[in-house]
Amino acid sequence: MATTSSSSNTPYSNGSSPISTIAQDHLFSILLLLPLDSIFHFAVTCKKFRNLTYSDTLWESLCVRDWGNSVRSLTADAKQQQFPWKKLYQQIYQLDSVYCRRLLLTHPQGGGGGGGGGEELMFPRPRASHSLNFVNGCLVLFGGGCEGGRHLDDTWVAYVGNDFKSILKWNKIVSGVPSGRFGHSCVVISDCLVLFGGINDHGARQNDTWIGQVTVHDAFGITLSWRLLDVGSIVPPPRGAHAACSIDKRRMLIHGGIGLAGLRLGDTWVLELSENLHLGVWEEIVTHPSPPSRSGHTLTRVGGNQTILFGGRGLGYEVLNDVWLFDTSEGHWRWVQLLFDLQNIPQGLTLPRVGHSANLIIGGRLLIYGGEDSYRHRKDDFWMLDISSVTSIMQSGTPPNPVRSKTKLWRRLKSKGDNPCGRSFHRACVDPSGCNLYIFGGMIDGLLHPAEASGLRFDGELFLVELLLQC
């Protein structure tokens, strides 16, 4: 009886929950620690909690939590100040289409700064297997291959900035270095470009490493300086058509490519840069298992300690569709293969490709565009790879290897607007918001002359793909 009496005098004998006494700011902090489904379950408990869980303030914080601070730029326009944060979150989460448009180009002031008797090119010429990066508010294009199998050694820069609409002005940077090449890699680390390898028009493979620094001056315009990086005597074997990406603020990862005598490689290397970016040290990473040898594939850092490898062409000239995750957590390196059933993906049989692009977009997903299949049919499709469920498995402890995803990894996106034609060995990069993808060049189908047997030409147009269709 005494126990019954004590129980009837508890503070919650009126049927209220202990959670109802928690201050709203503390509840707010708790909600930010929960996954979405738990937040929605919490919302149905009572009207007070529903008002909190559907508040614009909470959803703004959830957008920043899941998509990063760059998401705030999406509502910076005065016309969109009233855009609900919950709707914005939903639009990013349920992204199913992109909008494409061809960008207009203007002539640089002064005719490009050229002189002499030759005609000065005002725009980058059509090319493929070049590099295209977004750094310090600028698009930077270097090298590539063009008609006749010739390499290019030119560098072009176009300032995008914050008020960009639809017109870009390319500026040619005359530096004389690096030497001409195609199939090289170029990644952004600490607002600098790190370029490695490539192939010249004599077929010679390179294994040199360069640092590029882009600076935007109010008075002098845009400058770009290249310098050869001192990396010591231990370097990866020469190669081109490999894949590369940054894995943190001072390290770059490369894998595979075409080495000497046309042999496809399957090795993994990491370049660690000194704090001032004046020195570098290469280290080969040997693990088991690891991705088979290939070329024309992609490496993309997806956040934290993880990088995704996708596709390419294998040793037997087969075109691949496998996905591997490179994980650097817990103080050691490892490759983990991510398994999925191609037959269960709508239009999934079109996924295998080589010469595509893969970029991290807002929402922590990979946007994959273009490429070609084993019959050299060039693609114009956009696919989104969502590995959030896999990264959760990786963070939960020691995962199996390979990992089989139980959720839907792939989704083909619809494209609207002025869609680029099918292409391969183009290049693409995203701006810091993760919402705008720039695509330049590549090999496209089309006969320049009826007698031309190959049906191949190079493209020189620049496209903008908007990943977030704002209302």
* Contact between residue 146 and residue 152 where contact means Cβ atoms under 8 Å apart: yes
Which residues does 11 contact at the CB level (< 8 Å), separation at least 6? 21
* Contact between residue 214 and residue 136 where contact means Cβ atoms under 8 Å apart: yes
**CA atoms of 304 and 314, how far apart (whole Å):** 28
DSSP-derived letter for residue 30 is: H
pLDDT at 79: 47
Compute the CA torsion angle 57, 63, 69, 74 (nearest 10 deg): -90
pLDDT at 388: 77
pLDDT at 419: 94
Nearest to 254 by CA among 194, 311, 313, 303: 194
Residue 151's DSSP bridge partners are 145
pLDDT at 105: 74
Cis peptide before 178 (omega within 30 of 0): yes
Query: Both tokens of residue 449?
Result: 């002359």
**Which helix (H) or strand (E) element contains residue 78?**
none
Residue 429's DSSP bridge partners are 438
DSSP-derived letter for residue 184 is: -
Which residues does 1 contact at the CB level (< 8 Å), separation at least 6? none
| pLDDT tens readout for residues 310-346 | 999 999 999 999 999 999 887 789 999 999 888 889 9
Instruction: Tell me what percent of the residues of the chain surpass a pLDDT of 70.
Output: 83
| pLDDT tens readout for residues 337-390 | 999 888 889 999 999 999 999 999 988 899 999 999 999 999 999 999 988 767
**Burial environment of residue 34 by CB neighbours within 10 A (0 to 12, 13 to 18, 19 or more):** middle
Q: For the chain, which residues score pLDDT lower than 50?
A: 1-8, 10-13, 78-80, 110-119, 449-453, 471
pLDDT at 113: 37
pLDDT at 117: 39
Helix (H, G, I), strand (E, B) or coil at 165: coil
> DSSP strand E in 200-263: where?
205-217, 221-228, 243-246, 251-258
Domains of the chain listed by start with CATH number: 22-94 (1.20.1280), 98-105+122-447+455-466 (2.120.10.80)
pLDDT at 110: 42
* Contact between residue 158 and residue 112 where contact means Cβ atoms under 8 Å apart: no
pLDDT at 209: 98
**CA atoms of 427 and 127, how far apart (whole Å):** 10
Residues in the chain: 471
**Which helix (H) or strand (E) element contains residue 92?**
helix 85-93
Helices 56-67, 24-31: inter-axial angle, 10-degree rounding: 30
Enumerate the H helices of 15-83 as residue ranges.
Answer: 24-31, 36-43, 47-53, 56-67
pLDDT at 164: 63
**CA atoms of 384 and 362, how far apart (whole Å):** 11
Nearest to 378 by CA among 446, 318, 321, 437: 446
